Chain A
Amino acid sequence: MSGGRSVPGILAAAWVIARKDLAIEFRTRSAFLAALVLSLLSIVIFFFAWDPTAIGAADLAPGVLWVTFTFSGLLGLHRSFGVESHDGAMDALLSAPVPRQSIFLGKALANLVFVLGVQAVALPAVALFYNLPIGPAFGALALLMLLASIGLVAVGTMFAGMAANTRLAELLLPVLAMPFFVPIVMPAAKTTALLLAGRPIGDAFAWLRILLAFDLVFAYLCMLLFPLTLDD
């Protein structure tokens, strides 16, 4: 903030919070590396879980990709409010003169960058290990990942905030969030399969429509309801 004392608007405040979270992550790199290693490990392990002569790599890859993204995403989401648990950081954040929605937006934005960052490494890794030509479909895949990640991060940030305020936090987040990932993972994996098979993105229109609607509905609902999960 160059203005110093002025109270920032909802988006400006969200940007400040997101930058704070990303700065912490960039300096420590602990969660990002952990999520990255987890992603690479699961990609490799999944390869051996099926008989590659019976199931083609292109049939295997979509499921592996999206299961991996979901689990590594949960790691990042959990960390998102974990960093606020020490030294009364959450209280400080709550006492800041900014709308509560901007805390959600900021956290969600940082989580989105985190999740997309992991995916940016994991996707080429899948292409390499599973020997898949992702080149022609790259643009469409990137769009798909963005669409899927927005919904995943919106719901995930919401539940991570709730879970952080309870005991059993690290167990509660997946139990609450996973059912909500179904309408994300299913369209995303199906679309990925179509794209990897060389079909145009228009063929996945019905699936993308679900994803887009999910993003809109849950980004709005979570932003609306998030202040209710904060305890003063």
Chain B
Amino acid sequence: MTSSSPAARRLGVDWLLLAAGGAVVAAVVRAVWFTPPERLQGYAQKIFYIHVPSAWVGFLAFALTALAGAFWLFLKDPRLDRFAESSAEVGVVFTTGVLVSGPLWGKPIWGAWWVWDARLTLTLFLWFLYLGYLVLRGVIPEREQRARYSAVVGILGAALIPFIHLSVYLFNTQHPMPVVANPTGIQMPAVMIKTFFLSLGAFTLLYVALVRSRYALAVERDALDDDVATDR
């Protein structure tokens, strides 16, 4: 082992993760107590500040996973594959968050836990793609082959997303028009916008911190595999 002893790192405090956790708590506190409730939806709308940032991170994580895989095919750098693995695993957590917080919001506002709306269904299939990707990674012990196969599935998955969106959109849609990424500008009062972007930043920071921590785990696992291989 080289100077960066894994044992020492494990005992240390992950300051970035701590800061990210603090930022998320601060964003939630601000959203719940210091941002006025929405006029029509009342307190149920508070879920917005968790739901939308989670969705943003879920899709961002998937895009970065696919991108890292594609670059791996050219550069064959093991760091890219470790990043893809970490990003996918963190992404599935946030996507699960979207799929849990969505129904909690949908029940009081739409009157149903689940509707087969375009963006809901797209997120569900993104989640399935993530799970398939992770199952695939789990069954291939050989590192190079695992990275190669993962890259291929990542690229195909990225190509699939627009098709699922198109077909589900044609099927039917019930989701509100985006209030933030709306072509006519953000359709929200300033105080809500501020809370939203604070929350978005906090969730993105949490993503970065979790991926960093998960990446360190992947490094240690690979190092352990190498040690076992040389000992044999």
Binding site for B on A (CB under 8 A): 155, 158, 162, 165-168, 172, 175-176, 178-180, 182-183, 186-187, 190, 206-207, 210, 213-214, 217-218, 221-222, 225, 228-229, 231
Residues of B contacting A: mostly = helix
A229 to B150 alpha-carbon distance, docked (Å): 10
Whole-angstrom CA separation of A175 from B98 in the bound complex: 21
Contacts of A172 in B (CB 8 A): 135-136, 139
Q: Does B41 contact A (CB under 8 A)?
A: no
Name the one of B136, B153, B159, B171 contacting A218, with C-beta atoms under 8 angstroms.
Answer: B159
Answer whether residue B67 sits at the interface, using C-beta atoms and an 8 A cutoff: no
Whether, in the assembled complex, B179 has its beta carbon less than 8 Å from a beta carbon of chain A, the answer is: no
How many angstroms from the CA of A50 to the CA of B131 in the assembled complex?
A: 31
- The interface size of chain B toward A, counting residues with CB under 8 Å, comes to 28
The reply to whether B159 and A183 form a contact with Cβ atoms under 8 Å apart is: no
Q: Is B229 an interface residue (CB 8 A)?
A: no
Determine the distance from Cα of A49 to Cα of B49 in the docked complex, in whole angstroms: 42
Given contacts A182-B164, A186-B171, A210-B170, contact A225 B152 (CB under 8 A): yes
Q: Is the CB of A228 within 8 A of B73?
A: yes
Cα A220 to Cα B131 with chains together (Å):
25
Which of A186, A221, A228 lies in contact with B151, CB distance below 8 A?
A228
Residues of B within 8 A of A167 (CB): 139
Q: How far is the CB of A209 from chain B (nearest CB, A)?
A: 9
Kindly state whether residue B187 has any CB partner on chain A within 8 Å: no
Query: Is the pair B148, A228 in contact by a Cβ cutoff of 8 Å?
Result: yes
A-B contact pairs, 29 of them (CB 8 A): A155-B156, A158-B156, A162-B136, A162-B149, A162-B152, A162-B153, A166-B139, A172-B135, A172-B136, A175-B135, A176-B136, A178-B128, A179-B125, A179-B128, A182-B163, A182-B167, A183-B164, A183-B167, A186-B171, A187-B167, A210-B163, A217-B159, A218-B156, A221-B159, A225-B155, A228-B148, A228-B152, A229-B149, A229-B152
Q: Which residues of B have CB within 8 Å of A222?
A: 156
Given A175-B131, A175-B132, A176-B136, are A182 and B125 also a contact pair (CB < 8 Å)? yes
Closest Cβ of chain A to B186, distance in Å, is 31
Interface residues of B in 159-206 (CB under 8 A from A): 159-160, 163-164, 166-168, 170-171
- Chain A residues with Cβ under 8 A from B153's Cβ? 162, 176
